[in-house]
Amino acid sequence: MSMNYQAINLNESAAQIKELWSPKVVGEIHDFQFKVVKIDGEFMWHEHQGADKVFIVLEGELFIAFRDGQVKISQGEMIIIPGGPEHKPFAEKECHIMLVEPKEVVDTDSH
């Protein structure tokens, strides 16, 4: 039985996305998901409650504001955002990003 080996084209995946700030899952490994997202403008201040997250810039420039400074991530660069500090991603023009983050835990607890 042969495996189906196939590359995932991240630029094509991004090109198919119509809405901004709407991540599309392109792959999974262990308990992590790889998502492609287009952003433009500003997101809200938020934190990840202990879950680290990786941003990889495929096209454009991503800025992430922290309460005590900010960082610019250019095409071909990545940043690991720890789960603790509050931050706000933004872009001055359309930017394509791959996110690597833990799968969202679905709460199956019934009260």
List, run by run, the mean pLDDT of 10-residue segments along the chain (111 residues).
86 94 95 96 88 95 96 97 90 96 68 48
Task: Give me the pLDDT at residue 1, please.
Answer: 72
- Specify the DSSP class assigned to residue 15: H
Task: Give me the pLDDT at residue 69, please.
Answer: 95
Token reading at 20: 């901004």
Task: Give me the pLDDT at residue 56, please.
Answer: 97
Task: Give me the pLDDT at residue 108, please.
Answer: 58
Name the pTM for this structure.
Answer: 0.85
10 Å Cβ neighbour count for 9? 11
